[in-house]
Amino acid sequence: MKIKYQGDLFFMLDEKKHYMSWPVIALLDFVTIISFENIFYPYQNQGLSVVISWIFLLFTYVIPYALIATQLGLTFDNQEGGLASWIRRGTGSDLFGYITSWMYWTQTIPYLVDVSNSVIVSLSWIILGDNTLGKHMSTFQFGLLTFVIILLFIIFENVFRDSLEVLSIIGGGAMFAISMLFVFMTGWALTHGAHIATQPFNLAAFKPNFSLHYFSTTGLLIFAMSGAELAAPYISKMRHPKRDFPKAMWMLALMTAFLTIFGTLSLTVFFNANHIPHDFKMNGPYYAFKLLGEQVGMGKSLMYVFAVVQLFFMLAQLAILIDASSRVFASDTAAKYMPSWLTKKNKAGRPIHSYTLTAGISLLLLLLSGTLPNINSIYNWLLNLNGIVSPYKTALVFVAFLAIRFQQDKFKSYYVFIKNKTGAIIVGFWCFIFTFVCATMGFIPQDAHPGTKAFNHQLFMNFLTVGFLIVLGFLLPWMRKMELKREAKNK
């Protein structure tokens, strides 16, 4: 055991303990936040102007977000509960802590279903080699297979948990590598005869069109790049967290910027931003690697490589999401606000009924999405739903930050983002308001025209889904209250 001196603090380093370096933590956080496909739906929604959106968000949102998460992580470095613990400690409210953990759980459910859909899509490209999934499978079969995949992973999560963690590392690392490969190979192709498909390709083409559609799609950009707070549990595994954790967050922000900006510019080489395929959100990544392979003389081989990587990456995401979906039921506020049957644990110490509820809500979402006309519309709606629920969760990061900055004499941290209190609060409020507004605007359907039957149908589904999750979140504490009354009466 060695004793080190750092600033005003003495701390001990266990020479036998395995510490994680800051580049490794940045990479682990990166692969859980953003993937190659995350640049496709913003490109379809906003066209070439999304490059300006990415750059604007980098400096006004992504970097502040990452550094805010850094201060929160280093303020509560002994709290493993993450955002829910930050809110609970910052506001002094157990109820707010429960609400936060509930929101964190609910936002994983649409994503869980969306990822399961992506597993089927990647398998279809591996087997069929093209985009004809809709011709071989009905919407009912698509939904049923999605539900089967979720059930299988719930079982695997309990039986083969360690194997799934390995799958997460392999899948995440491979996705990061192939995303970078696409960008660099596209650059190589441009120097060897490839032409930019998007025309005109000039400064005017990058100018955003500030319409209702533009602002309603920005929530998906936040969804694509949110999650910096997920690195917080790794702080205790760092040798020098005060010095190195901010480095990891800076590296995370720069990697995100590289993929979003240069990845989007790479798409302009193969896809005309003014004429994007209608199924671009679902099949765009496969089209991209197919076109890249043809450009560099490798045929469909790159597309098949990506399809396999995408499959492993999505399976890894499922492993993470299924595990995360149970944590809210094992949190320190669960016993106070949730019925005892829901927090009952199995022999492995895991709240088994949480999986039942996860599967049940997933099934309801699939039944609801089954009212849409085709697989592509189901895929798009679930994806767009994430652009609503995920930013609402992210907004709570800034609530936690504002709580500790208003009480900064009470909460000390190894790292302070913007030492001036007023400046920090202004930035915190900006990030919160921007996130909240984008999430609210996300209720507006993005793949249907206002006034049409499809638009009204999707708008109703958005409000129904979010409303159901909110009502359920308030129903559980009421059920717990009734349960405690019955127990007190029976004594």
Q: What percent of the chain has pLDDT over 70?
A: 87
CB within 8 Å of 81: residues ≥ 6 apart:
88, 97, 101, 331, 332
Rg, the chain, Cα only: 23
Mean pLDDT of 176-202: 85
Q: Is 9 helix (H, G, I), strand (E, B) or coil?
A: strand
User: Looking at residue 461, which CATH number applies to its domain?
Assistant: 1.20.1740.10
The stretch 202-224 carries a mean pLDDT of 80
Least confident of 22-26, 64-68, 261-265, 278-282: 22-26
pLDDT in tens, 33-66: 777 888 888 888 888 888 888 888 888 888 888 8
Q: How confident is the model at residue 195 (pLDDT cuts 50, 70, 90)?
A: confident
Q: Which residues contact 455 (CB under 8 A, 6 or more apart)?
A: 445, 448, 449
Q: Give how many domains the chain has, as a whole number.
A: 1
Residue 7 lies in a domain: no
| Cα-to-chain-centroid distance, residue 169 | 17
Task: Name the β-bridge partners of 4.
Answer: 11
Domain extent, residue 27, equals 22-490
Residue 2 in domain: no
Q: Which residues contact 365 (CB under 8 A, 6 or more apart)?
A: 109, 110, 113, 382, 465
Q: Please answer whether residues 230 and 398 qualify as being in contact, where contact means their C-beta atoms are separated by less than 8 angstroms.
A: no
Task: Give domain status of residue 14, yes or no.
Answer: no
How many CB atoms within 10 Å of residue 374? 13
**CB-side exposure of 387: number of CA atoms within 13 Å?**
24
pLDDT of residue 13: 45
Residue 412 lies in a domain: yes
Residue 171 has pLDDT above 80, yes or no: no
pLDDT for residue 470: 87
The closest alpha carbon to 91, from 334, 401, 331, 393, belongs to: 401
Q: Rounded to whole angstroms, how far apart are CA atoms 376 and 172?
A: 25
- Calculate mean pLDDT across residues 468-477: 86
Section 17-25 average pLDDT:
72
In this prediction the pTM is 0.83
Segment of 125-129, 191-195, 405-409 carrying the highest mean pLDDT: 125-129
Lowest-pLDDT choice from 99-113, 251-265, 266-280, 322-336: 322-336
Torsion of CA 245, 250, 256, 260, to 10 degrees: 170
Tokens for 44, please give them.
């379809």
Over 60: is that where the pLDDT of 464 sits?
yes
* Parallel, antiparallel or unpaired: strands 2-6 and 9-13: antiparallel
Q: Whole-number mean pLDDT of the chain?
A: 81
pLDDT for position 15 = 47
Indicate whether 79 pLDDT > 70.
Answer: no
pLDDT at 156 > cutoff 80: no
User: Is residue 442 in a domain?
Assistant: yes
